[in-house]
Amino acid sequence: MSMIKITLKDLSVIETDKNSTPLDVAAKISDGLLRVAVCARVDGALTDLNTPLEQDCKLEILTFKDDEGKDVYRHSCAHVLAMAVKSIYPDAKLGIGPSIKGGFYYDFDFPTPITPDDFVHIEREMENIIKADLPIQRKVVARKSALAQMRGFEEAYKIQLIEEIPKEQEITFYKMGEFVDLCQGPHLPSSGRLKFFKLTQIAGAYWRGNEKNKMLTRIYGTCYEKKAELAEHLERLEEAKRRDHNKLGRELGYFMTEEKIGQGLPLLMPKGAKLFQILQRFVEDEEARRGYILTKTPSFAKSDLYKISGHWQHYKDKMFVIGDESKSKDGADGLLALRPMTCPYQYMIYKNGLKSYRDLPIRYNETAALFRNENSGEMHGLIRVRQFHLSDGHVICTPEQLDTEFKACFELSMFFLKKIGMDKDISFRFSKRDLEGGKYIGELSEWNKAESAMKVILDGLGIEYEEAEGDAAFYGPKLDIQFRNVYGKEDTLMTIQVDLFLSKMFEMVYVDTDGERKNPYIIHRSAFGCYERVMAALIEKYAGALPVWMSPTQVCILPITDRAVDKAREIESLLQGDGVRCEVDARNEKIGFKIREAQIEKIPYMLVIGEREVEQNVVAVRARKDGDLGVMNVIDFRKRIKKEIENKVNS
Ligand SMILES: [Zn+2]
Ligand SMILES: [Zn+2]
């Protein structure tokens, strides 16, 4: 039999029979490796462990410790899930079942809906499949026979997937026991290699993520090699659920949604509205200190405006257009649209009166309500919504001022992040254009100029950032300040963008030192991001126990007797006079009950007042963080909380 040479990752070479498998090679290396091997990388391509090696090659054996190893391991578990579901619910139809960060999912079309209560049965069946240690075998199938088989199984979604596979591409099925699935692989060599798994969640998901398609049932799960790692993961998931703003924010009365109003249109309840106001005042006051000029512009405009800005051509599918183009006498010219951005409105203010280089930079800010027609599948709590409020603004400057102004915008965002205690929870992304996409305006040479100018600035800031091609705005590259929600999903919190184009399109000019009229540069920035999104991030970060300075209610005064109520009211007005947000719980309830309620509401301070406190003019102070602080002179408590608020202490 002829031999082939296998070069391993450490560059050592093993000689083996032609057509040996990566599994054979793993066995030659060590029993330990044989036990934990998941899949292989042969000359750069991922393959199954039992694929024969036909010629000299580079081989790497991957285990659960490798990212791709984890993916293959978990994706194999998705197949086990699918097989279990099909054996319990033969009429369920199969969608897709990829691995995801931290786990996997599989989409099913169930004739009758299932609930998490059904997980026990499915998990038991999965256990059986794993115990049976069924080999997972790859088979290349001809298109015709692939379609015929899936038609036989009445798997409509699989048929659709096969029909979409490009002609030149190989079609592969994987067989595990009697269960056959369309898949590119690779997988574990057998089901018995799976160790510890758990089904975690159920959710609705449109087929192919398109809301025009049928809503399928997505079952999420995860699996690990070690029991302790699975337990840790499940604990993290519990903690995430506990902090999830979409649950906690509703329970604490920050926001609600109402079907009759619509999806992605949250109603801020008194607490949410108060938090919004606190943050907005904080942001706008700081912006004023840094030379910003406040504007207040309309929420909608004629299509003419968006045609100049390019929104009509590049962004219309995300805009709410008022009226019907087909019925409008003037066609699109007669239409209005809600604004997705503030830019063109502030440009009109800039254009009111000729500007000179002496006027620049001009820094406009505005807390603007913006409207974006997000897909219904993407909406989430306060993080992704259809109407939101951006701390929007535009710095209009000369090319020479770009560097300084960009850095000032960055510092302002970092200032806010630090004050709300989130400066360590973020990462940076430099979003550039890609060369293929047609959604961008302006010449490529100008883009190169903008991107290289921005790169110099970013490198000068001394921050670590990743580069993302294709994520730029259609008018320019941007720096995105990213955060992850409790479930690890990443979203943009704040953004600073460089734009060399729109001033030309809007014919914005300034008279330069040489008397020439020139187009300024524009920095689009959101100093604090979208208020709704920041509020969601804050609720999750602090698990609802917001720092004192931003708590909608900072102090709750709890009189024990009727006679103490007058004293409570007196202290309430003193504190209100100090600018402290407080309330009196004068209900005729037991003091223990009132304390528990204030604790559930996560109010930072409780002041308990009984007969003795009234006589001695003191209050018994309970802090959310430190518990019972004992009795305190009213003047001392006022000093303490005022200082804490002024210093914006974040704990
Ligand atoms: Zn698969
Ligand atoms: Zn803008």
Write the DSSP string, 536-589: HHHHHHTTT---GGG-S--EEEEESSHHHHHHHHHHHHHHHHTT--EEE--SSS
Task: Using CA atoms of 636, 641, 647, 650 in order, give the dihedral in degrees to the nearest 10.
Answer: 130
CATH 3.30.930.10 fits 267-295+327-541, yes or no: yes
CA-to-CA distance for 184 and 201, rounded, in angstroms?
Answer: 26
Residues of the chain with CATH 3.40.50.800: 548-646
Task: State pTM to two decimals.
Answer: 0.83
Task: Quote the mean pLDDT of the chain.
Answer: 93
186: CA distance to ligand 1 center in Å? Answer: 7
For residue 553, is pLDDT > 70?
Answer: yes
User: What would the DSSP string read from start to end of 110-166?
Assistant: -SS---GGGHHHHHHHHHHHHHTT-BEEEEEE-HHHHHHHHHHTT-HHHHHHHHHS-
Q: Is the pLDDT assigned to residue 61 strictly greater than 80?
A: yes
Q: Tell me which fold the domain 3-63 belongs to.
A: Ubiquitin-like (UB roll) (3.10.20)
CA of residue 374 to ligand 2 center, whole Å: 19
Name the token pair of 64.
Answer: 């659960």
Instruction: For residue 118, report the distance from its CA to the centre of ligand 1, in Å.
Output: 23
221-244 as b/e: b if 16+ CB within 10 A: bbbbbeeeebeebeeebeeeeebb
The answer as to CATH 3.40.50.300 being correct for domain 68-243 is: no
Instruction: Return residue ranges of the chain for CATH 3.30.930.10.
Output: 267-295+327-541
172 Cα–ligand 1 center, Å: 10
* Segment 253-279, tens digit of pLDDT: 999 999 999 989 999 999 999 999 999
Taking the C-alpha atoms of residue 39 and residue 62, their distance in angstroms, rounded to an integer, is 5
Ligand closest to 78 (CA) is: 1
The DSSP string of 325-353 is TTT-TTGGGG-EEE-S-SHHHHHHHHHSS
Instruction: Check whether 461 has a pLDDT greater than 70.
Output: yes
Which one, of 635, 446, 624, 418, lies nearest residue 527 by Cα? 418
For 114-164, write each residue's pLDDT tens digit: 999 999 999 999 999 999 999 999 999 999 999 999 999 999 999 999 999
pLDDT at 331: 63
CB atoms within 10 A of CB 108: 22
Number of the ligand closest to the Cα of 476: 2
The terminus-to-terminus CA distance of the chain in angstroms comes to 71
C-alpha 525 – ligand 2 centre gap (Å): 7
Which pLDDT score, from 0 to 100, does residue 215 have? 92
Q: Is 22 left (phi over 0), alpha (psi -120 to 50) or beta?
A: alpha
Q: Which ligand is closest to the CA of 77, given by its number?
A: 1
CA atoms of 274 and 249, how far apart (whole Å): 13
What is the Å distance from ligand 1's center to 74 Cα? 10
Query: Which of 81-95, 372-386, 432-446 has the lowest average pLDDT?
Result: 432-446
Which amino acid does the sequence have at 306?
Y
Homologous superfamily, domain 548-646: Anticodon-binding domain (3.40.50.800)
Closest listed ligand to the CA of 474: 2
What is the 72 CA–ligand 1 centroid distance (Å)? 8
Q: Considering the chain, tell me which residue range(s) the CATH 3.10.20.30 domain(s) occupy.
A: 3-63
Amino acid identity at 417: L
Name the H helices within 420-468. Answer: 444-461
Element (H, E) at 277: helix 270-289
Tens digits of residue pLDDT in 554-598: 999 999 988 899 999 999 999 999 999 999 999 999 999 999 999
Which residues, listed in sequence order, are joined to residue 94 by a DSSP beta bridge? 108
Order of strands across the sheet with 336-338? Answer: 300-302, 336-338, 321-322
Q: Tens digits of per-residue pLDDT, 197-253? A: 999 999 989 999 887 899 999 999 999 999 999 999 999 999 999 999 999 999 999
Separation between Cα atoms, residue 432 and residue 450, nearest integer Å: 10
336-338 and 321-322 beta bridge pairing? antiparallel
- 45 CA distance to ligand 2 middle (Å): 43
SS3 category, 76 = helix
10 Å Cβ neighbour count for 174? 20
198, 230 contact by CB (below 8 A)? yes
Are β-strands 215-224 and 103-109 bridged in parallel, bridged antiparallel, or unpaired? antiparallel
Strand partners of residue 467: 430
User: Which helix (H) or strand (E) covers residue 93, if one does?
Assistant: strand 93-94
Closest ligand to residue 341's CA: 2
- List where CATH 3.30.980.10 sits in the chain: 68-243
Ligand with the closest atom to the CA of 182: 1
